[in-house]
Amino acid sequence: MVDLTSRGIGGPITSQLVDLTPHLPVLPIVLPLAVAGFMLLLEERRRIFKAGLGAATMAALVLASFVLLNAVAGEADGVIVYRLGDWPAPFGIVLVVDRLAALMLMVTSLLGLASFLFAVSGWAIVSPRFHSLFLLLVMGINGAFLTGDLFNLYVFFEVLLAGSYGLLLHGSGRARVKAGLQYIAVNLGSSMLFLIGCGLIYAVTGTLNMVDIMRVAADLSTHDATLFRAGLAVLSVAFLTKAGVWPLSFWLPVAYPVATPPVSAMFVIMTKVGAYVLLRTVALASGVPETGVVEFLSPWLLYGGIATVVFGSMGLLASSHLPRIASYATLVTAGTLVAAVGTSDQRVISGALYYMIGSTLATGAAFLLAELITRLRPAEAPQAADAAVEPVFGDDYETSLQTDFEGYEVGIAIPAGTAMLGGAFVVAALVLAGLPPLSGFLGKFAIVSGVLSGGPELSWAAWVLAGVVLFSGLATLIALMRKGIDAFWRPGEETVAEVRSLEALPIGILLALCVALTLFAAPVVTYLDATGAYLANPVEYAKNVLEFGP
């Protein structure tokens, strides 16, 4: 167990300086909360200060998650347990940082930093109190990743949902409010399911600590086990809704495209929260095979995930509006991740995690790019939603007979701004479509080879999964190529897009990360393989969480 909880430095208040290291695990929650609270005391017009403060906070979070990541990566299965109120589990609430949680924190804080920077470059001012709302959303997401207590998870789900409601409605307007009405209703429904499931599980196991739940669930009478599974199933429905798994995913393509770009970008991580929780559940259960939970859940996750990927691919094929494309890409990623969890094969899971990192960052970048790209064609205002599907290849080419020398033989020199946008678009597209030379290709390769290396007898589901994963890549390619050609190649009254550096920076950060993810794939993949291996049997995790007192 990694020793951050060592409380060596207790004693008199006179010791002025407080050592924060042992409290690092709780920082991703406390810091944004405190800063958000402080910002509320400031007047609305002190935007510059708030922007700076917020950016600093997000940067600090990046740093914190990096330290945590290194701390847990230090040993084979490093786990940090933080006892809130110094009450031992299962009586009090504990935060648990392991490889998986640390990874999610890292992705969240990076995406958050980028989105926040983009937001303060303009979008933050369209409604009051944006900065606080944003930080509180981040706090909720981090909490959901960190907590080891089922009901506390519910609370953090509500925090991040409340934050997402606020941010989705940020800027108000007809489209957003309409979407919000639906988004909120669906999520209120799933929250009720969460409580019901939570209640049943408590009724049977008499505890709320996730590890303890599984421990207790190991030896239950048929009677109790049935009830336990009923609770777990209802709970999973709530998780699947959050993860955007078909047929509980229809709210996503309604809500995400209409939010303000930085908000949509930040939302990309939220579906991952649902998938994360499912992965966590399965992982904890696989530590206690007697519960039979894995066998109970896995098939549903696998089929649901596959269905989601297919549905998302359809959406991709049918969309021409970039935010909408990005939304469906989010669905595809979520589906792939959930399906991977369903295979409960550690190679597939680690591959899916690698793929998830890249596509999360790239999707975020795509949401941010969408708005800038529309500036290329100010004449053609972006329509909020797709018109009916336009014919894929509109123009007529009866004559392939065309010479290079009839007037249009000269290529066009591309202005810098446009070139930058185009380059960024291509990078994002490559990652999302899983084409070389970027991380998407590696991720999909890792997933597919993991799926297909299942020994001589392969289930049809494995083939289907491999197929749809690659097919979704093709669908993404078609959608993005169509969009890209339409945005950058189709002749039209181009204007040189003006991109402010503060807008370019976050996109640059995200895409640079995608590239780095490819260049330094080795350490990342090693880390993820270790994660997969350790999730397959998280004994240490359980031991550390439940050990009483120091």
Partner 1 sequence: MMELVTAVGIGVVAAAGVWLVLRPRTFQVILGMSLLTYAVNAFLLTMGGLRVGAPPVLESVVAPDPAEYVDPLPEGLVLTSIVISFSMTALYLVVLLTSRGLTGTDHVDGEESP
Partner 2 sequence: MTVDAALLTALTVLPFLGSALSSSLHTRARTAAAALAGFVSVAGLSLVIALYPRVAGGEVFKHEIAWLPSLGLNLSLRLDGLSWLFALLITGIGALVVLYARYYMSAEDPVPRFFGLLQAFMGAMLLLVASGNLIQLVFAWELTSLFSFLLIGYWYHNANSRDGARMALLVTSLGGFCLLLGVIVLGGIAGSFDVDAVLAAAPVIRAHDRFVPALVLILVGTFSKSAQFPFHFWLPHAMAAPTPVSAYLHSATMVKAGVFLMILLWPVFSLSEVWYFGVSTVGLVTFLLGAFVAIFQNDLKGILAYSTISHLGLITLLLGLATPAALVAAVFHVLNHATFKAGLFMAAGIIDHETGTRDVRKLSGLFRAIPITGTLAIIATAAMAGVPLVNGFLSKEMFLTETLAVHSGTFLDRLLPALATLGSAFGVVYSVRFIHQVFFGPPATELPKEPHEPVAWMRLPIELLVLIVLAVGILPARVVGPLLGSAVRSVLGDATPAYSLALWHGFTPALQLSLLALAAGGTAYAVFRRYLADSPDEGPPWAGRLRARRVFDLALTGLVRGAAAGLRWLGTTRLQPQMLLLTLVALGAGLLPFALLAARGAGWLLPIGPVRTDPLEPAYLVVWVLGGAFALLTAYLAKFHRFAALITLAGTGLAMVLTFVWLSAPDLALTQLVVEVTTTVLLLLGLRWLPRPVPAIERTRQEQVRATARRLRDGVVAAVAGAGVALLAYAGMTLDPANRLRFDSLRSYFVENAYEGTGGRNVVNVLLVDFRAFDTLGEITVLGVVGLTVFALLRRFRPPRELLGGTRQQQRQAEFDRAAGGREVGDTATDFLYVARTAMHLMFPVLALFAVYLFMRGHDEPGGGFAAGVTMAIAFILQYMARGARWVEERLRVLPVRWIGSGLLLAVLTGAGAWLFGEPLLTSYYEYADIPFLGRLPVASAMLFDLGVFVLVVGATVLMLVALAHQSVRAPRTSAREDAEPVREEVEAE
Partner whose footprint covers residue 279, from partner 2, partner 1, none (CB < 5 to 8 Å by kind): none
Nearer to partner 1, 251 or 354 (CB): 251
Q: State yes or no: residue 174 binds partner 1 (CB under 8 A).
A: yes
| Distance in angstroms (rounded) separating the CA atoms of residues 135 and 525 | 30
Task: Return phi, psi of residue 82, to 5°.
Answer: -120, 115
> What does 363-429 look like in DSSP terms, one character per residue?
HHHHHHHHHHHHTT-TTSPPPSS--SPPPSS-S--------TTSS--S--PPPHHHHHHHHHHHHHH
CA distance 145 to 140: 9
* Residue 40 engages partner 1 in binding (rule: CB under 8 A): no
Total of residues contacting partner 2 (CB under 8 A): 158
Residues 251 to 270: which contact partner 2 by CB under 8 A? 251, 253-254
Q: In the range 298-337, which residues lie near partner 2 by CB under 8 A?
A: 311, 313-318
Exactly one of 37, 52, 128, 206 binds partner 1 (CB under 8 A); that residue is 206
225 binds partner 1 (CB under 8 A): no
Which one of the spans 77-85, 162-170, 332-340, 513-521 is the region binding partner 1 (CB under 8 A)?
Answer: 162-170
Q: Which is nearer to partner 2, 76 or 412 (CB)?
A: 412
Q: Which is nearer to partner 1, 56 or 177 (CB)?
A: 177
Q: Does 453 bind partner 1 (CB under 8 A)?
A: no
- For partner 2, which residue of 410, 501, 549, 550 counts as binding (CB under 8 A)? 410
Binds 174, which of partner 1, partner 2, none (CB < 5 to 8 A, cut-off by type)? partner 1
Half-sphere exposure of 438 (CA within 13 A, CB side): 24
Please pick, from the candidates 92, 127, 158, 536, the single residue that binds partner 1 as defined by CB under 8 A. 158
CA distances from 87 to 56, 83, 438 (A): 32, 6, 46
| Cα separation values, 430 from 325, 337, 363, 524, 534, Å | 14, 19, 11, 19, 31
Candidates 222, 383, 493, 498; binder of partner 2 (CB under 8 A) is 222
For every residue of 21-90, DSSP letters joined together read: GGGGGGHHHHHHHHHHHHHHHS-TT-HHHHHHHHHHHHHHHHHHHHHHHHHHHTSTT--EEEEGGGPPTT
Closer to partner 2 by Cβ: residue 186 or 506: 186
- Check residue 291 and report its DSSP letter: G
Strand partners, 147: 95
Q: Which of 56, 63, 126, 177 binds partner 1 (CB under 8 A)?
A: 177
Q: Is 128 left (phi over 0), alpha (psi -120 to 50) or beta?
A: beta
Nearest to 232 by CA among 162, 183, 142, 301: 301
CB hemisphere CA count around 129 (13 angstroms): 13
How far apart, in whole angstroms, are the C-alpha atoms of residue 121 and residue 481? 28
Smallest distance from partner 2 to CB 497, Å: 17
Smallest distance from partner 2 to CB 30, Å: 6
Decide whether 108 or 190 has the Cβ nearer to partner 1.
Answer: 190
Burial of 219 (0-12, 13-18, 19+ CB in 10 A): exposed
Q: Is 195 in the site for partner 1 (CB under 8 A)?
A: yes
Whole-number minimum distance, CB 72 to partner 2, in Å?
A: 18
Question: Is residue 230 part of the contact set for partner 2 (CB under 8 A)?
Answer: yes
Contact 159, 139 (CB under 8 A): yes
The reply on whether position 292 binds partner 2 by CB under 8 A is no
Out of 63, 203, 481, 485, which residue is the one contacting partner 1 (CB under 8 A)? Answer: 203
83 touches partner 2 (CB under 8 A): yes
* Residue 191 interacts with which of partner 2, partner 1, none, CB < 5 to 8 Å by class: partner 1
Contact status: 465 vs partner 2 (CB under 8 A): no
Label the pairing between strands 94-97 and 80-83.
antiparallel
Q: Does 128 bind partner 2 (CB under 8 A)?
A: yes
Under rule CB under 8 A, residue 182 binds partner 2: yes
**Choice from 118, 145, 165, 239 touching partner 1 (CB under 8 A):** 165
* Interface stretch with partner 2, choices 52-60, 217-225, 265-273, 502-510 (CB under 8 A): 217-225
- Interacting residues with partner 2 between 38 and 77 (CB under 8 A): 38-41, 43-44
Residue 112's H or E segment, with its range, is helix 99-120
Please report how the helices 460-484 and 293-318 are oriented relative to each other, as an axis angle in degrees rounded to 10.
30
Binder to partner 1 among 29, 169, 368, 433 (CB under 8 A)? Answer: 169
Say if residues 318 and 492 touch (Cβ distance below 8 Å): no
- Which residues of this chain interact with partner 1, rule CB under 8 A? 151, 154-155, 158, 162, 165, 169, 172-174, 177-178, 180-182, 184-185, 188-189, 191-192, 195-196, 198-200, 202-203, 206, 208
